[in-house]
Every structure is written in C-alpha cells, then in structure tokens.
Structure 1
Amino acid sequence: MPEGDTVFLAGRRLDDALAGRELTRGELRHPRLIEHDLAGRTVLGVVSVGKHLFTRFDDGISLHSHFRMDGTWHLYRPGRPWRGAKHDIRAILETDERVAVGFRLHDLELLPTAEEDRLVGHLGPDLLGDNWDDAAAAEVKRRLRADPDRELGTALLDQRVACGVGNLYKAEVCFLMKVSPWTKVGDLTDRQCDDAVSWSRRLLERNAWRPEQSTTGDLGDGAQHWVFERGGRACRRCRDVVRVSRQDDGTKDVEDRVAYFCPTCQPGPHPELPRRGARRPQQQTGRRARY
C-alpha cells in the first residue's frame, strides 16, 4: 500500500491539472458507478486525507478514491497515448487541457462532499495535513499510547492513530528511533513517543513534493533507505546484517507484515532470527504510483 506522501503528491498534481476546469469527459468504469457521467461538472479541487483522495465538484459531490495496493492516477495531455491496460481503467476525468486516468482503483465512491467524514472521520490526524499543529501532534501521541500492549510497528501503521505511515516509513522511523518494531508502546519513554510522531511527520514532509522517497538524505540508487528493502545487506551504521521478519498487523495485507530492522542498532524484542543462509520473506518493491 502506498505511503501518505505518494497520495499527497498524486492529489496535488491532480489538483493542479483539474481544479477550476470543467470536465468534457467524466467516465467511471467501476461496477457500482458505471451509470454515472461526470461530464459538465467543474472540479473545485482535489484533496488528500492520509491515503484517501477526494475530487470535489461544483454540484456538492465528491469522488472518493483509494489506491489500495496497486491503484494509481496518470496524467496526460489530450491525444497522447495512455500507459496501462484498458481493462484496468476505472475512471477518466478529462478537460480541454489534461486527462486524468485512474487505473486499478478498487475503491471508488460518489458521495456528498459534506459527508466525506463518513469515510475518513475515524482516522487520526493527517501527518501531511494543512492544519497540523502542536494539538494534532499531541492527539497522535495520545492515540499511540492508548494501547500500551501494542507493538510500535503495528501502531505506526494504524491509520486511526495517524494518517500517512506505510511499511517503508514504519521501518525507517523505528530505525531512526533506535528501537525494535516489536517494542511495546507501553515500554517507550515519553521522549520516544514524541520522536515516533516527529520522525513520522518529518520523513513524510521530506518526500511529499517529489516522487523519490529518501530517508537518508541521499537520492542515489540503493542509498535512499536505512533498512527498508535492505534485508541481508550491511547496516549503514554498524555493518551488522539487516534482518527481515513478519510483523502481524492484524490485517490481510502481506506487505504490511514485513519488518526490516538491524538487531544491533535497534535493541529490544524481535522474532527468532533465521539461521545464516535461511530463506527470508520476499522483499517488496518501493513506490508504486506513477504520474
């Protein structure tokens, strides 16, 4: 599932392309929405809320989309060829100047703009939200501490705690905090809880306006991350081997169950480490969305 900065960037690019323009074509190919034609509506704006996107129209209706594992929006100039299989197309929003094509958008819904909270009201504060302030940070910390027996890595992925963190930032935040992803939230110090919140927001902000995701400050190939997708390679800090293991987050999302960590730099509880040469869980790819 994409990180919050991927959805944020997609929303900003869609907003730049569509906001203030009338749709000359508004086709929805989702099974539940095929009877709806959005042509003639004017796009007021596109906003992201964590991993959710809302395209708002001048008639008080919003189109909600969620990328899930493999969804994406592409932007094209009219007349240019589209990249992607035709059978994967779920939405086409076209103006005189741009065409937005949604591929593999399994979650699409039309709803009154005034009712958007029905889909996102249960979520925690958006780490990339325009209204982020000290009160929002305190609320995330409160929600994080609400279940002291929960593992930190699992809590960071819970969008009801805070919106935006995915498996990449879960791994990198835990590494930068120097704690194991399996550390119970109740075992964290007050300072460590503050660090969990601040690192989560800082890393998302760092990458929000670009397609590359770097947590090390280096955009070079293979140098962008501390531990994420570096299983079996040397830790950048101590040269121990970065390990990969499963962390059950209570969902069926296999990717979110993979945890990358350095057992030396991140002391604390962790599963039994595989014997040298044992097969490790398959590593996942990084950012999936394309524009």
Structure 2
Amino acid sequence: MPEGDSVLQLANRLQFMTGREVLHTSLRVPSVATVRFDGAVCEAVWPYGKHLFMQFGDAVLHTHLKMEGTWAMHLAGDRWRKPGHTARVVLRLEGAPHPRPIEVVGHELGLVEVFRAREYQERIGYLGPDILAGDWETAGRAEARSRILARPDREIGRALLDQKNLAGVGNEYRAEICFLAGVHPARPVRDTDVDEILAISRRIMWANRNSPIRVTTGVRRAGENAYVFGRNRRPCRRCGTLIEKDFLGGGEDLERVIWWCPHCQPA
C-alpha cells in the first residue's frame, strides 16, 4: 500500500519529466477538468509524505494515491496497461530524443487538485513534518514530537497514522514500528517513549526509501520481511506467540487493522 517511501520512489521515477514541455493535458476530474498545462514546462516533481506534487509554470498539480492509485509511463500510442476509464490525469510530454511523445498517466487517483505555486505552503500547512525529508533530524523530529505529545491520552497507533503529526507513515509501517518499540498500538501516548518511536520510524523508513520491497526484519525473502504486519495467528518471530489483530480508530479517524504480539507488545 502506498506510504511515504512509495511516493518518494514514484517521484524519483518521474524526475525525467522536469524540463519537458507539456503537449497535451487531460485532467479527468470535474473540479479541474478545464485546467491545461499545454505549452508549460514541468519545473519540478517532488513528494511530501504521501502526497505528490508537479509544478508547471505557476501551477502546481497535487495528487494522492489513496489506496488504489498508480502512475504509468509509456510512449504515446502504446496500449495502456490499465483501462482508460480509470485515468484521472493524462499528461503528454515532449519525448526528445525519442521521436514519440511520452505519456504520464495517473490511474484511480484519490485526489487531484491544482493551485498556484505561491499557495503551496498554505496548502500543506496542516501536514506534519515529512519523515523522509532532508531536514528531519534538524527540525522535523522535534516538531513531530511536539504534535504527538500535544494529545497524551490518544493511542500511539492513531497518533502515528495522523498525517497532521508526521507525514508519510501508513498502516504497514505503523504495525512494524510499534512492534520494534515493544508497544501495543492502543497504548496511550503518555505511556510510550515518543523519542524512541520516532527514531525507529525514521530509521526503518529511511532504510527502505529506495527499496522495491519493504523490509523490517532484515530478511528480504517473501513472507519473511515483516514482523507482525499481515501475520494474524502466525507465530511471532521473536517469541513464538501467535500474532493477533483487531481494529483501531473510529470517530475522527478511519478504523484500521492493527497487528501485535501479545507477549512482545503487552496491552
């Protein structure tokens, strides 16, 4: 599922767009259907947490994968790998040195919006620090810590998924972070070592930032790369106790699955 590392890798793959002129634009979302970038040059592509941004002149295209979104790149005229009705963004760019233009297509995107570049800071102002940002150690960590500790009675599992606290952590990383920290996801923030949890979060996500497969166990083999995520009723890799799962959330937060080891992460 897309988390901060997935979007960072996506942004890296899309860096070829920078410096290329947009030949044709098709934004297939009613709110921005009339927007065109035709004739503009793509000036930058960058991630922030789970969000992806592209700048064309003074306009910024903001998209979010949510659960189902994907991006595809191919030469114009080639058959798409996904049905056309799933496309939300279609950008045709000059293809030099290749004679055919390049198409960049966003399928099943959960969010598509366009705003002026000068509005960028205001638009992302509600988000916490990006856990994969270069300034995480100098500024981001302290800000994320402050935001999490502002609600000490909240469950740490909810706090980690709240993008207003820190941007980029998703459900898979949450499960692994809590296991490595030895805390149950439903334990209140006040009863956890937030500094240690943030250090673990940064360490494992940074280690996976360029990897096609997420690994928290140190083992890359399929089925052995995670400690608790998706392993309900399977033995804990540390103590052999069966992993359990439940749901955490509701109210202001979406209800999401949690996994934990009852021995290594006592409630």
1:7 & 1:133 partners in 2: Cα distance?
20
Q: Aligned-pair distance for 1:119?
A: 2.5
Cα separation, partners in 2 of 1:219 and 1:48, compared to 1, 3 Å:
same
1:257-283 Cα offsets, whole Å, 9 max, x none, are 10000000111x2xxxxxxxxxxxxxx
Partner of 2:59: 61
1:99 & 1:130 partners in 2: Cα distance?
30
Matches within 5 A, 1:88-103: 88-97=86-95, 98-103=102-107
2:77 counterpart of 1:79? yes
- 1:27/1:38 contact within 8 Å kept: no
Misfit runs of 4+, over 6 Å:
none
Q: Aligned-pair distance for 1:2?
A: 2.1
2:222 counterpart of 1:224? no
Which has the higher mean CA deviation after the structures are superposed, 106-115 or 78-87?
Answer: 78-87
Matches within 5 A, 1:137-156: 137-156=141-160
1:11 & 1:56 partners in 2: Cα distance?
12
3-state SS in 2 of match to 1:247: strand
- 2:70/2:107 contact within 8 Å kept: yes
1:179 & 1:252 partners in 2: Cα distance?
20
Counterpart pick for 2:183 among 179, 184, 205: 179
Q: Larger relative CO (CA 8 A, sep 6+): 1 or 2?
A: 1
RMSD (Å), alpha carbons: 1.5
Which has the higher mean CA deviation after the structures are superposed, 80-89 or 172-181?
Answer: 80-89
1:80 & 1:217 partners in 2: Cα distance?
39
Q: Which runs of 5+ in 2 are unaligned?
A: 96-101
Partner of 1:40: 39
2:35 & 2:72 partners in 1: Cα distance?
21
Matches within 5 A, 1:187-202: 187-188=191-192, 192-202=193-203
1:206-244 Cα offsets, whole Å, 9 max, x none, are 221132111112221101100000111111101110101
- 2:37/2:56 contact within 8 Å kept: no
1:85 & 1:264 partners in 2: Cα distance?
47
- State the one-letter code of the partner of 1:119: R
Matches within 5 A, 1:255-274: 257-267=256-266, 269=267
Q: Aligned-pair distance for 1:251?
A: 4.7
Partner of 2:13: 13
- State the one-letter code of the partner of 2:78: R
Cα separation, partners in 2 of 1:141 and 1:234, compared to 1, 3 Å:
same
Partner of 1:213: 214
1:167 & 1:131 partners in 2: Cα distance?
24
Q: Which runs of 5+ in 1 are unaligned?
A: 270-291
Aligned residues: 261
Partner of 2:68: 70
2:10 & 2:49 partners in 1: Cα distance?
12
3-state SS in 2 of match to 1:216: coil
- State the one-letter code of the partner of 2:160: L
3-state SS in 2 of match to 1:148: coil
Partner of 2:140: 136
